[in-house]
Structure 1
Amino acid sequence: MVSSFLRCIVFSCSIIFSRLSLAFTPCPLLGPVFPEFALDTNSEVLGSALDDLTEAFDTLVKDGNGSHGDVHPNTTSFSLSLFSTNQGDAADTPFLFKYHYTAPSLKSSPNAAHDVDKDSIYRIGGLTKVFTVWSILIETGDRIWNEPVTKYVPELAKAAKCLDAKQDPVSYVNWEDVTIGQLASHLAGIAREYGVGDLSEQTDHLEYGLPPLSASEVPGCNLDSLCGRAAEFFSHFSQQPPVALPGTTPIYSNAEFQILGYAIESITGKSFESVLQDHILGPLGMEKTSLSTPANSSSAVIPVDEETSGWSTQYGGEAPAISMFSSITDLSIAGKAILASTLLSQSQTNRWLKPTIHTSNPANSIGYPWVIYSGGNYPNTSMVDVYTALSDVGLYSSYIGLVPDFNVGFTILAADSVSSPDLNAHADIIADMALPALMKIAVLQADASFGGVYASSRLNSTITVSADSLPGLFIDTFISNGTDFRQVLATFNGIDEADALRLFFKTEMSLLIMERGTCVSWMDIDSFKYDGASLDQFIFELDKNGNALSVEIPALRVELERGD
């Protein structure tokens, strides 16, 4: 039995075979390939990376351009942060790194003549969608995803009965086929919104060759005349044709989240704003975050005036999609709460941080409501998924990214006096500087915690473990009862010689033959067993500092002690 100060960790053994004529390619399972690592800001690797990050942003705002793209330092002010839930001092505060830049145009603005800082409040627009989904998960869990929206929004149930969508699927949405989960993951196939942004609002629309409209034909909902729920919004929106059939392709839509907001109100009997405050903002102490325009604008970032900037814009029913305000401190707190499952169970978080559908770009997928970017330097490193939400509204842009494999994240908030700024250069700099450093830290700590020779005191059984630049831990030697067990495993797979044997951090095991020309490790998990135990299961016993003391290999009925 493991004593109270010890714990166990399970690794998968990915047995990677390749013919000598084939190049070696690692193929770990999806997810972290190393155990959780500690992050200390005074460590050499992390400290150096953060210094380089500061220097990179200093250069960016000085030059206004670079390999990551152009920015506009004369007009764009921004704040950004990196945060972590790993052990170490990096998790002691809301963020482990911050950077602020105040543009000359903001310094001269009569509405916000101050330098931006960690408490500066920006409008975060579409990041609101994350909080809307989070609120649903806290209230009901994801069991609601497959339920029809008509169950919770009676106006759409009525529309489904009145409009013959089955007979005319081109003109009308069949609301009975639309689920809550499809709304939350941009898969409902419905219109982007109704009225807001319609070109008929422009006085010169006829000059563009658009046909004239009578007063009754102009959409009744816009930013100057917000629609109420039943009598106005649904009576108009239910007449909108579908953009795509439900569940077929991701289509960005603010209306999806407006409808989700109404569903939340039906479920809870409270306003969406109250649910947001009670479920998330209050429990996490996010005092600089709100759905409505903050009453106190002393911390506000307003690049021009409130109206022109979009600070005072009211979105009415669309608020659950696009209305929120926040700071990098509060968003860092929120990001850490998601990564640490502070308000949800771990199993619920695991399901939330997963894709629901691909886009036509193989590097991008969609989640609830995440835009997921697959990064990493594959095949030399494992794939690293970054769960993001990004938005521009008025003269504001916002970006949040979570990296579950490393338990880290970032947030970028910006405002510009001319147009909403592009934040891709900022995000790319963070990725290029931070991810390699995190991978290096993971390798160094894995080698220190698990590397070495493990041996039996009663049998001729040993393994030698180390870490290199590739994913996972490398098993240099593996002897079981005097037999080269690496060769045994190769023989089981019909391979003459095993090129490599690697351990990947996982709760299940993987056995992988790389001669197939594709990465199929998930298909080979638990393939070989002996007396019901997997040949590819390794259970490491750790001390309170996370250092391995021994490894148990259940199939071989042996426990090997780690040498000094």
Structure 2
Amino acid sequence: MRPYTSLLLTTLSLPGALSNFLGPIYPAPRDLTSSNSLVAAAWKNLTISLDRSLHGQSNSTLSEFNDLTFSVGLFSTRDSKAEKLQYHHAAPETRNASFGTQTVDGDSIYRVASVSKLFTVLAGLIELDLEEWERPLSEIFPEFAHFVREKSNTLDPIYDTQWNAITPFALASQMGGISQYGAPWTPDYLALYVLEPLILGTSSPEYNPATYGFPPVDPSDPANHAPCTTPEGFVGGICDPESYAEGASTNPPIALPWTSPVYSNNGFTLLGMAIANLTGKTLDDVYQESIFDPLNMTSSYSVVPPNSTLPRSVVAGEPQANFAIDNGLSKSSGGIFSTLNDLAKFSTAILNSTLLDTHTTHRWMKPVTHTSDLHYAIGAPWEIYRYEHPETGLVTDIYTKLGDSGSYGAMTLFIPDFDAGLNLITASTQATRSQQTLDLVQAVIGVFLPALTKQAARELEQKYTGTYVSATPGLNSSLTLTPSKIPTSPGLSITSWIQNSTDVLSIFYGSPIFPTKATLRPLITPHGSNQIAFRLATTPADPVLPRDPSNLFSAFYDADQFAQLGQYTYANLYIGEFVFEIQEDGRVSGVTPAAWVGRLEKV
């Protein structure tokens, strides 16, 4: 009887093979910038194509970005020089601008729109404790407490927001179900009707409620207005936190709390107010003290940048109409100004856990909820895209935050599996700016992520493959690793494995412990560690086609290896785990099969 047979008596039956566990496909690559790097080569080819297309030398689809001013660049915690891989383009609108810069580079100041939400959540994670993140808003804002008390016996879940069930964390993860609107994002027809004569001195049928058959209401009743869109609040230009909270308290919900993700700028205004309330600081001080100063982000602002920075500011159109706007209470939703170089500092600090501890970062960079799209999930405030590699079908999660407001757009993309990512900032008064921002992200990630994957595969082969032998005299132990030749299961294949003169491979090969399609894949390891653990991972015998529900349940054991990881052990150590030693220069010097303890040196 083979040794693994008895193990099956105490574990789940495993029909077929298992699929890979969620995690990196390869160890994060260390070389993104040298003349030998596949990433550098891919970036060079992309920038050459952009140059040709944007200067009329090519009719490729990249020429659509000619009217878009943009700055795009990479970052990596493994290769700090990656931040130098940038590309900048000034559209004719910017080159002929009367205000601001006429050229763009890594120090050009843009509005980053809703990427500001990422700053707000990070600042909150730094400043607030877990209890404060889960405190009901009715305990933070007296106006909400008053509303809850008034509705205690007459609460209508369709028309009354349950502020006693919504927390700052619910706001951060877009799970509060609260209204999207609130000045200045989404128009309310009554507010437009009331405000048009005051602002423009006209009264057009376009905003008259009677044009649409709306019933007459009392325009002086604050309950009929979005927060701070009453004539007094709007025209006076003053919206204090108390007035905003009072106006928001009567907003009807879009969904019940924690039932469905609902994007809400209003929610992030309230989140910023909550952080200020709980810390006793202004939000500007929170950003400055918790993020800008520690990261030396000297070109980032939560207020309109000083006039001295105008020569390097990207101004799309008239300054007062698009750029030089202080978002006031809504700055926590979309009021940050920054540069590509500062965003690189910000992004690498997140991946490096510079401002948070590693465990908090890992918990933060996880989904909170699904969406109706199988390739798209929501975090706090992450918008998470699930990239399926065409060659392997394996998944790489990309954690992003999109910014899109007025004449400015931005997107920051983190690829935790590779300790890398990219930032993009755009500006244009053209109506096509929003779509072009997404199209440009698609074009860049379509080049960057495959190149990153291939570079990681190359480094795996160069550094990890080969033969490892025991340095202990008289001990016959060795391990030989080669690149996997299984397209759907990349990684390291074990071609020979002797431990204490025992041919381990012949004993376990073909068993549930070591299926025939098993390869070694890395686990997430903290940056800076001199060790990295690999685990045996396998692929399904019959992969499930996307969106095919015919074996949704019957393929459970084929669907995800999470149910089986760490099941087979010896002396409380995992049989399928291999721990590699990494030198400071990235060289692999040895490996320890965990359950066999003895270290094997690379030869």
> Structure 1, residues 316-365: CA drift from partner, whole Å, max 9, x if none?
22121111111111111111111111111111111111111111111111
Aligned-partner SS, 2:467: strand
Instruction: Tell me the CA shift for residue 208 of structure 1.
Output: 5.7
Aligned-partner SS, 1:284: coil
> Structure 1, residues 286-323: CA drift from partner, whole Å, max 9, x if none?
12211111122222211211233x21333322121111
> Structure 1, residues 421-473: CA drift from partner, whole Å, max 9, x if none?
42112111211111122112211222222111123453443321122465322
Residue number among 533, 549, 559 corresponding to 2:599 in the alignment: 559
CA contact (8 A) 2:20 2:539 kept: no
Higher helix share: 2
| % identity of equivalent residues | 28
Instruction: Tell me the CA shift for residue 218 of structure 1.
Output: 5.3
> Structure 1, residues 135-187: CA drift from partner, whole Å, max 9, x if none?
11111255543332233333322322222387311111111111221110000
Structure-1 separation of matches of 2:601 and 2:153: 68
Alignment partner, residue 352 of structure 1: 364
Q: Within 5 Å, which residues of 2 pair with 1:91-130?
A: 95-112=83-100, 114-130=102-118
2:456 is the counterpart of 1:449: no
Aligned-partner SS, 2:51: helix
Alignment partner, residue 467 of structure 1: 483
CA contact (8 A) 1:187 1:249 kept: yes
Structure 2: which amino acid aligns with 1:319?
Answer: K
CA contact (8 A) 1:226 1:316 kept: no
2:81 is the counterpart of 1:90: yes
Alignment partner, residue 194 of structure 1: 182
Alignment partner, residue 575 of structure 2: 535
CA contact (8 A) 2:181 2:265 kept: yes
2:360 is the counterpart of 1:342: no
Alignment partner, residue 474 of structure 2: 458
Aligned-partner SS, 1:50: helix
Structure-2 separation of matches of 1:413 and 1:300: 12
For structure 2, the residue ranges without an aligned partner over 5 or more in a row are: 1-13, 197-203, 525-532, 542-554
Instruction: Tell me the CA shift for residue 128 of structure 1.
Output: 0.9
Instruction: Tell me the CA shift for residue 483 of structure 1.
Output: 4.5
2:328 is the counterpart of 1:330: no
Structure-2 separation of matches of 1:493 and 1:295: 65
Structure-1 separation of matches of 2:177 and 2:142: 20
Provide closer, same or farther for how the CA distance between residues 521 and 266 of structure 1 changes in structure 2, counting only shifts above 3 A. same
Q: Within 5 Å, which residues of 2 pair with 1:308-457?
A: 308=321, 310-377=322-389, 380=392, 382-419=394-431, 420-422=433-435, 423-456=437-470
Instruction: Tell me the CA shift for residue 390 of structure 1.
Output: 0.9
Structure-1 separation of matches of 2:494 and 2:565: 18
Alignment partner, residue 489 of structure 1: 508
Alignment partner, residue 276 of structure 1: 287
Provide closer, same or farther for how the CA distance between residues 48 and 220 of structure 1 changes in structure 2, counting only shifts above 3 A. closer
CA contact (8 A) 2:382 2:399 kept: yes
Alignment partner, residue 8 of structure 1: none
Instruction: Tell me the CA shift for residue 374 of structure 1.
Output: 1.1
Provide closer, same or farther for how the CA distance between residues 562 and 113 of structure 1 changes in structure 2, counting only shifts above 3 A. closer
CA contact (8 A) 2:226 2:251 kept: no
Provide closer, same or farther for how the CA distance between residues 49 and 70 of structure 1 changes in structure 2, counting only shifts above 3 A. closer
Structure 1: which amino acid aligns with 2:491?
Answer: G
> Structure 1, residues 228-249: CA drift from partner, whole Å, max 9, x if none?
3454222221111110011111
Alignment partner, residue 162 of structure 1: 150
Structure 1: which amino acid aligns with 2:340?
Answer: I
Aligned-partner SS, 2:458: helix
Provide closer, same or farther for how the CA distance between residues 214 and 409 of structure 1 changes in structure 2, counting only shifts above 3 A. same
Alignment partner, residue 199 of structure 2: none
Structure 2: which amino acid aligns with 1:215?
Answer: P
For structure 1, the residue ranges without an aligned partner over 5 or more in a row are: 1-16
Provide closer, same or farther for how the CA distance between residues 232 and 141 of structure 1 changes in structure 2, counting only shifts above 3 A. closer
Aligned-partner SS, 1:474: strand
> Structure 1, residues 70-92: CA drift from partner, whole Å, max 9, x if none?
7352x3211111111114x525x
Alignment partner, residue 262 of structure 2: 251
Provide closer, same or farther for how the CA distance between residues 141 and 429 of structure 1 changes in structure 2, counting only shifts above 3 A. farther
Residue number among 215, 221, 232 corresponding to 2:228 in the alignment: 221
Provide closer, same or farther for how the CA distance between residues 274 and 234 of structure 1 changes in structure 2, counting only shifts above 3 A. same
Structure 1: which amino acid aligns with 2:73?
Answer: S
Instruction: Tell me the CA shift for residue 386 of structure 1.
Output: 1.2
2:460 is the counterpart of 1:478: no
Provide closer, same or farther for how the CA distance between residues 220 and 475 of structure 1 changes in structure 2, counting only shifts above 3 A. closer
2:232 is the counterpart of 1:233: no
Structure-1 separation of matches of 2:537 and 2:406: 52
Provide closer, same or farther for how the CA distance between residues 112 and 541 of structure 1 changes in structure 2, counting only shifts above 3 A. closer
Structure-1 separation of matches of 2:84 and 2:105: 15
Alignment partner, residue 522 of structure 2: 504
Alignment partner, residue 4 of structure 2: none
Provide closer, same or farther for how the CA distance between residues 151 and 69 of structure 1 changes in structure 2, counting only shifts above 3 A. farther
Provide closer, same or farther for how the CA distance between residues 322 and 183 of structure 1 changes in structure 2, counting only shifts above 3 A. same
Of the structure 1 ranges 312-321 and 353-362, higher mean CA displacement relative to structure 2 is found in 312-321
Provide closer, same or farther for how the CA distance between residues 208 and 366 of structure 1 changes in structure 2, counting only shifts above 3 A. farther
Structure-1 separation of matches of 2:342 and 2:351: 14
Structure-2 separation of matches of 1:218 and 1:254: 16
Instruction: Tell me the CA shift for residue 554 of structure 1.
Output: 3.3
Structure-2 separation of matches of 1:284 and 1:233: 32
Provide closer, same or farther for how the CA distance between residues 472 and 218 of structure 1 changes in structure 2, counting only shifts above 3 A. same
Provide closer, same or farther for how the CA distance between residues 471 and 498 of structure 1 changes in structure 2, counting only shifts above 3 A. closer
Structure 2: which amino acid aligns with 1:493?
Answer: P
Aligned-partner SS, 2:294: helix
> Structure 1, residues 206-253: CA drift from partner, whole Å, max 9, x if none?
386253665325556246555534542222211111100111111000
Structure-2 separation of matches of 1:275 and 1:165: 38
Residue number among 295, 301, 306 corresponding to 2:314 in the alignment: 301
CA contact (8 A) 1:415 1:421 kept: no
> Structure 1, residues 237-271: CA drift from partner, whole Å, max 9, x if none?
11111100111111000111111111111221111
Structure-2 separation of matches of 1:275 and 1:557: 49
Provide closer, same or farther for how the CA distance between residues 135 and 165 of structure 1 changes in structure 2, counting only shifts above 3 A. farther
TM-score between the two structures when normalised by the length of structure 2: 0.82
Instruction: Tell me the CA shift for residue 484 of structure 1.
Output: 4.2
Provide closer, same or farther for how the CA distance between residues 55 and 381 of structure 1 changes in structure 2, counting only shifts above 3 A. farther
Provide closer, same or farther for how the CA distance between residues 76 and 377 of structure 1 changes in structure 2, counting only shifts above 3 A. same
Alignment partner, residue 42 of structure 1: 34
Structure-1 separation of matches of 2:50 and 2:104: 15
Alignment partner, residue 561 of structure 2: 521
Provide closer, same or farther for how the CA distance between residues 166 and 378 of structure 1 changes in structure 2, counting only shifts above 3 A. farther
Structure-1 separation of matches of 2:594 and 2:120: 45
Higher RCO (C-alpha 8 Å, min separation 6):
1
Aligned-partner SS, 2:118: helix
Alignment partner, residue 242 of structure 1: 253
Structure-1 separation of matches of 2:212 and 2:460: 64
2:171 is the counterpart of 1:183: yes
Alignment partner, residue 54 of structure 2: 61
